[in-house]
Amino acid sequence: MKKIIAVLAAGALLGALAAQAKLPPPPPKSDAEKAAEAEKAAATKAKEAAELAKAQDKVVANYKKNHAAMGKK
């Protein structure tokens, strides 16, 4: 029983030490990679803005339809 506990404690200690290891820093990006990343981010932002506008238009249309059906102005 004591051996099992000692092995588990040693394994936990080794695991804790391994978790402290650091990864090397990523290589620097070239100007082309930076430009491509910025272009992709801009395209994603534009797409999300268009989807948000479409969802807002749908909500407004639903509100107007249901609000008028309930006899309210």
Give the model confidence (pLDDT) of 11-61 as tens digits.
Answer: 777 766 666 778 888 899 999 999 999 999 999 999 999 999 999 999 999
pLDDT for the residue 49: 98
Contact between 41 and 34 (Cβ < 8 Å): no
pLDDT for the residue 1: 83
CA torsion sign for 50, 52, 55, 57 is: negative
pTM for this model (two decimals)? 0.54
Label residues 19-41 b or e (16+ Cβ within 10 Å = b).
Answer: eeeeeeeeeeeeeeeeeeeeeee
